[in-house]
Amino acid sequence: MKIIAFGASTSNNSINKKLATYAASLFENATVEVLDLTDFEMPLFDVDLEMTIGEHKLAQAFLDKIKGADLLVVSMSEHNGNYSAAFKNVFDWCTRINGKVFQEKPMLLLATSPGARGGASVLEIAKNAFPRYGALVKATFSLPSFDENFDVKKGQISNTELDNDLRGIISLEF
């Protein structure tokens, strides 16, 4: 099984990329490729710009990565209760090429934040919106209070109960 995982942020120390990487590592017999959204930085989407330059090659490259996956593990970064601007821009460029950005791939949808809500707002938005764009959202998981519940040095969830919750979701849904 080929897994494409990414955190929907361009932060050098993205906590969502760390969570997505960890979650993807829990799947047995899988090859994991972790994408970095900084590799897909494009100018701010604008219809006039699109008319001038056409489809952006990095949007197609992102879509090609998704096409090659059997499963997507995506952790959403929450910026003011919504998607990060960086993710939204990649998403906007991609929808102009293929409205079904996620190409009917099964998805484990995650979110985390330093706060106690763990990105709950953006997770709910994505959970409701992504199926319209071809995501088969099989399960969601929110990790609250990232700094208290994730051991960055070990690269794993340190809270046993939350770790067991994520492992249970993976074993039951995938």
Strands 71-76 and 2-7: parallel
What is the pLDDT, as a whole number, of residue 66? 98
What is the pLDDT, as a whole number, of residue 10? 96
What is the pLDDT, as a whole number, of residue 118? 96
What is the pLDDT, as a whole number, of residue 52? 96
Nearest residue to 112 (alpha-carbon basis) of 6, 37, 17? 17
What is the pLDDT, as a whole number, of residue 102? 98
Nearest residue to 102 (alpha-carbon basis) of 66, 69, 73, 78? 66
Instruction: Specify which residues 157 forms β-bridges with.
Output: 150
Name the stretches of the chain with pLDDT < 70. Answer: none
What is the pLDDT, as a whole number, of residue 135? 98
Distance of alpha carbon 42 from the chain centroid: 18
